[in-house]
Chains A and B, each alone.
Chain A
Amino acid sequence: MATARLLGASVKRREDPRFITGKGNYTDDLKLPGMTYAAFVRSPHSHARIGTIDTAKARAYPGVVAVFTGKDMTGVNSLPCGWDLRKDKNIPGVVQDLAMVPHMPLSSDVARHVGDPVAVVIADSQDAALDAAELVAVQWEPLPSVTATDRATQPGAAQVHAGAPGNVAFKWELGGGDVDAAFKSADVVVKKRIVNQRLVANAMEPRACVARYEDATGDLTLWVTSQNPHVHRLLMCAFVLGIPEHKVRVIAPDVGGGFGSKIFLYNEEVVCSWATRQIKRPVRWTATRREAYLTDAHGRDHITDAAMAMSKDGKILGLHVKTTANLGAYLSTFGPAVPTFLYGTLLNGVYVMGAIKCEVTGVFTNTTAVDAYRGAGRPEACYVVERMIDAAAAALKMDPADVRKKNFIPKFSGAYQTHVAVSYDSGDYAKAFDRLLQMFDYKKFRAEQTEARKQGRYLGVGFSTYIEACSIAPSKLVGALGAGAGLYESGKVRVHPTGGVTVYTGSHSHGQGHETTFAQLVADELQIPMDQVEVVHGDTGLIPFGMGTYGSRSASVGGTALHMSVDKIKEKGKKIAAHLLEASASDIEYVGGQFQVRGAPGKAVPFGAVALTAYVPHNYPEGLEPGLEETSFYDPSNFCFPFGAHACVVEIDPDTGHVDIVRYVAVDDVGNVISPMIVDGMVHGGIAQGVAQALWEGAVYDDQSGQLVTGSMMDYAIPKADMLPMYETDRTETPTPVNPLGIKGAGETGTIASTPAVMNAVVDALSGLGVDHIEAMPLTPERVWMTLQAAKSKT
């Protein structure tokens, strides 16, 4: 019986009905007997010494169960930073050791950013907790603060940590080839300052947690909005609270978006987990949106001085990048990894380059901590490379499409060694770009643009031929680069006696659609109906182990672990079937949902019958264990490197500076695809996020007060559907040789590719006036209008 392949089919997401009808089960939905509610007292100052904290009034408030400050939390350690950039750890590229500054769950000496928690009020109701939190009287002694990235290391800047003189968190470098020689031999050197502004993740569901300690057993359960519950458990147990992992269960139920911000271990989860052990009642906390803006890890915030050395015929001879990365007030879980190993390693782009040097200084400021945000380092790298390519093309008076084509790494599969440590897996960069140009009809556009210019209209196109590193990644490699953890994934496949299958994955879905794609994958491989497969994720009590979901790794790493388990199931099934069919296991093949003697479809046992036999092993192979359940851990041999080509067309309103996106065309290559519909959705959402960085989003701190000025959705512009065009998308498929599924990863491509495409388009629109660069984003109407005015006044 020939069944249509599920792999590659656009199956409707099975999780959607419950989300759309309001039947999801989120952390804040959890109701436990004896529940208490936590409210945090936070610093209203960007930088202040903490004097006495008078909690008497709050304690006396009706309904209050307990009030704790940092001084009460004896024996609790600093929140850990999971990426140790230190020379004596043999981490490559370290120029100045990472200052491992403490990050206590509740600050008791100095508050270092607005929103820094200093006390927690726990009460019978959320109302009482919030009311009483206002009664906690903190003696603040405000200190001068520094929030701007480029001012952190200036003489006289406020010092954020005693342990980080001059606010330098670390210095690091990476590169290859002779950069000095490249610049000496260059015909043209292009230098630009490139600011990649700070962003706020803005997941739809704010962070939340419920911690419950069971006095009778000593078990602690933490429900938390996490992208990686096992990592949460490991960090909290091993580093912060010092309680054994086997007594702690972390559950991340339905989670409404993360974009990276829910990877990390946060103060509130630690405080609630600690507090429930003190008061022996469950403690719940849910962030307000205001708290989300102030405390969810922010993203990006780089200032880069880049120089590109070019030959006169348009070849890239060298790239030199000096970046200052703002880490915020504390080291978030993976904060130092983002502007280093997730950034410098991508500066080779999809181009043959003569040499690369990347120097990064991480700095502390009185701002919310910065960590991975959709793309994490790779969007910043892609933005630098793609902006510099266009700036170089302008300097050489060449077409930016031609410069790209001249420099593409030729098609390959297996390995392309870059100057920046990583080796690419497979690529056909010209193919994706050619497809894009074909869909876009580039020649026609340039003719239209010429015509538009004659009418005084400002029409422009921007390209982005990006690469990214995903399916993060080989444990050995990331360990050598400073990671405190391995980055494999587990996948367990349990076949029930009646032939149903439950799949347990260490990946976590918080919008990605794992319940659909993993069911699709396993059902396809077992050739059974999809509704026979259930997917379980997000619970350390049910899943062997897991590293979670980030870095576009679920399908490629988590999916491969499941694929390995399915293979093991099939191998065991063959032994059982061979016994039943009185054949040799080596003669059994698995076809169409049944085990059959090779070439003899009539001699077959269906999958369900084999499953039943495994659990009712009356007639069973000698020495074979009963049961049909397999677990695999997959540790990839390399990252995977998706790529693609995006084009954005904009028209600028010269009266206002408003940028209208006229067209957006995207050709992505994410390797093999399980569900085209889900990949399309990821591409669409990613483009929206990247376009939003180019045009609308940006976290702004007041220079004087250090207050987050864009601290609400009324001030911080996240994209809305009517601000975006209909996307035109297509794919090329270049399978990765890294994993057996050939899947690269799709979660972040859109975000990485789109920001430079929009910026390049705006610059192209203004290029007739001699504009070849705009330093900062977002491209607010004012910024564009001012650029236009300045350019007009020069011509």
Chain B
Amino acid sequence: MYPAQFEYHKASTVKEALDLLGKYKDEAKLLAGGHSLLPAMKLRLAQPKHLIDIGKVAGLSGVKEEGGTLVIGAMTTHYAIESSALLKSKCPLLPEVAGHIGDPMVRNMGTIGGSLAHADPAADWPAAAIALSADLVAEGPKGKRTIKADDFFKGLLTTALADDEILTEIRVPAAQANVKSAYAKFPHPASRFAVVGVAAVLTMDGGKISKASIGITGAGSKAVRAKGVEAAIAGKAADAASIQAAAEKGADGVDVQPDLQGSEEYKKHLLKVFSKRAIEAAAAKK
């Protein structure tokens, strides 16, 4: 083993996990699928004294429908989402995005809640959560609260979750027949995280896009809503010229971070390209 020594705790219930978190505080880290935390621990960049494994907590895994709302347990694996018949019919964006994550081994282990709570700026789920206007349910010592996806991502690896809270559920509305969605991603050639990822959810009114909800990941220090694109396309026909014009706003409000994958100029350009591709792909769906 390469990591520093730690104590492993396996929680069976959310309450047990919360109690352990309350007890060990800063010395503890929650372990979900472990696909971000364990690599950091192997490099000893993270050296938590206690790992609280919530991967097998009863009730935290699985997908169900509750009166028009789809409820995805935070510990549901990417693969479970990718292969969920319920989601494929009622929220196809989630299985589509899941299929873009890592490789089959990563998808078999990694969880949607773990990824959202880690808030990697290049992860795929944050774009989808914003585009779907998901409600993220957190449980803490004082009970449950709901955080809007728009308010959840605060910065690089930082979320609205308090130190003593656990993300337990992701709630999204079951899609109506006139809602179309797509995810367009430019993957990093090594990590396959998103250099740029754009998730688009379009509410259609005949050939027109009556409303667009668009989440962007990858280019900045956190996932954001593409408000400029949304405003520009709303009420417009889903034609090439309108989509192109709206996509030009793709980089608005994104604090683009240059790195080895691209300069600010290039990444801003990619944001426009992938905004266009996401909207086009969504509009083209049946």
Contacts and interface: CB of A to CB of B under 8 A. Distances in A.
A498 interface: no
Contacts of B24: none
A710 interface: yes
Contacts of B262: 781-782
Contacts of B270: 656
B189 A656 contact: no
A786 B258 CA distance: 15
Query: For chain A, what secondary structure do more than half of its interface residues adopt (helix, strand, loop), or is it mixed?
Result: loop
Interface in A685-724: 695-696, 700, 709-710, 712-718, 723
B41 to A, nearest CB: 12
A223 to B, nearest CB: 21
A704 B146 CA distance: 44
A96 interface: no
Interface in A120-144: 126-127, 130-131, 134
A127 B266 contact: no
A715 B273 contact: no
Given A134-B44, A713-B190, A655 B260 contact: no
A449 interface: no
A785 B266 CA distance: 8
Interface string B14-51: 00000000000000000000000001001110000000
A700 B260 contact: yes
B178 interface: no
Given A713-B190, A715-B190, A782 B273 contact: no
B273 A655 contact: yes
Contact of A290 (B43, B189, B266, B273): B43
A131 B260 CA distance: 32
B189 A782 contact: no
Interface string B260-284: 1111001001100100000000000
B263 A127 contact: no
A780 interface: yes
A709 B39 CA distance: 17
A695 B191 CA distance: 15
A709 B190 contact: no
B266 A714 contact: no
Contacts of A288: 2, 42
Nearest to A780: B261
A715 B5 contact: no
B261 A131 contact: no
Nearest to A719: B189
Contacts of A785: 266, 269
B4 interface: yes
A786 B5 CA distance: 47
B1 interface: yes
Contacts of A695: 189
B260 A709 contact: yes
A723 B103 CA distance: 13
A785 B273 CA distance: 12
Interface string A152-196: 000000000000000000000000000000000000000000000
A715 B43 CA distance: 14
Interface of A: 126-127, 130-131, 134, 288, 290, 655-656, 658, 695-696, 700, 709-710, 712-718, 723, 780-782, 785-786
Closest 10 CB pairs of A and B: A717-B189, A717-B190, A714-B191, A782-B262, A782-B266, A655-B273, A696-B189, A715-B190, A714-B190, A716-B190
22 contacts: A127-B5, A130-B4, A131-B5, A134-B4, A134-B44, A288-B2, A290-B43, A655-B273, A656-B186, A656-B270, A696-B189, A700-B260, A710-B260, A712-B43, A715-B260, A717-B189, A717-B190, A780-B261, A782-B261, A782-B263, A782-B266, A785-B269
Given A127-B5, A782-B262, 12 more contacts: A126-B1, A127-B1, A131-B5, A134-B44, A290-B43, A656-B273, A658-B186, A700-B260, A714-B191, A715-B191, A717-B189, A718-B190
